[in-house]
């Protein structure tokens, strides 16, 4: 067994206390850095697409899609979003900008693409 002198124990406790304080200072800012997703709105500077949501080039097509789903006509709904000339499935984490909104839907553009799209408001998120 090792014999610990009084001053060595104080030194060891001081070192452990300093390490604890420093790690607390370093860890807390990183914990605050985690982003929380919320539905995107005009007040947000950066919006991102959410993976798996359908987006259509016209509001009429996205409205029909959800109308068919509500009525249980899944094949008709699938027919709308599988048509590449009408709709697409969002890849997720693509930078987007809002153009308008109404009745639970949002009109938006995706950086690098010339088209505008319509989707549910939940399809665009802001990472705070």
Look at residues 84, 92, 81 and name the one whose alpha carbon lies nearest to residue 115.
Answer: 84
Q: What is the pLDDT of residues 83-127, one digit of tens each?
A: 999 999 999 999 999 888 888 999 999 999 999 999 999 999 987
Give the CA distances from residue 76 to residues 14, 54, 73, 82, 123, in Å, rounded to whole numbers and listed in that order: 70, 14, 6, 10, 21
If asked whether residues 48 and 28 sit together in one domain, one would say no
If asked whether residues 82 and 107 sit together in one domain, one would say yes
> For the chain, what is the domain count?
2
If asked whether residues 44 and 13 sit together in one domain, one would say no
Q: What pLDDT is recorded for position 27?
A: 52
If asked whether residues 20 and 52 sit together in one domain, one would say no
If asked whether residues 47 and 96 sit together in one domain, one would say yes
> From the CB of residue 78, how many other CB atoms can be counted at a distance below 10 Å?
14
If asked whether residues 118 and 58 sit together in one domain, one would say yes
pTM: 0.69
If asked whether residues 52 and 110 sit together in one domain, one would say yes
Q: What is the pLDDT of residues 65-89, one digit of tens each?
A: 999 999 999 999 999 999 999 999 9
If asked whether residues 11 and 48 sit together in one domain, one would say no
Residue range(s) defining the domain that contains residue 14: 1-34
């Amino acid at each position: 067994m090792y014999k610990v002198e009084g001053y060595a124990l104080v030194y060891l406790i001081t070192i452990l206390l300093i390490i604890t304080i420093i790690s607390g200072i370093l860890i807390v800012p990183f914990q605050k850095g985690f982003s929380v997703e919320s539905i995107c709105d005009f007040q947000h500077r950066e919006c991102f697409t959410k993976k798996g949501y359908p987006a259509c080039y016209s509001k009429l097509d996205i409205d029909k899609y959800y109308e068919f789903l509500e009525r249980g006509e899944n094949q008709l709904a699938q027919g709308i979003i599988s048509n590449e000339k009408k709709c697409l499935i969002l890849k997720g984490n693509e930078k987007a900008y809002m153009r308008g909104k109404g009745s639970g839907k949002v009109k938006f553009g995706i950086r690098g693409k010339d088209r505008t799209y319509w989707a549910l408001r939940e399809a665009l998120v802001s990472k705070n």
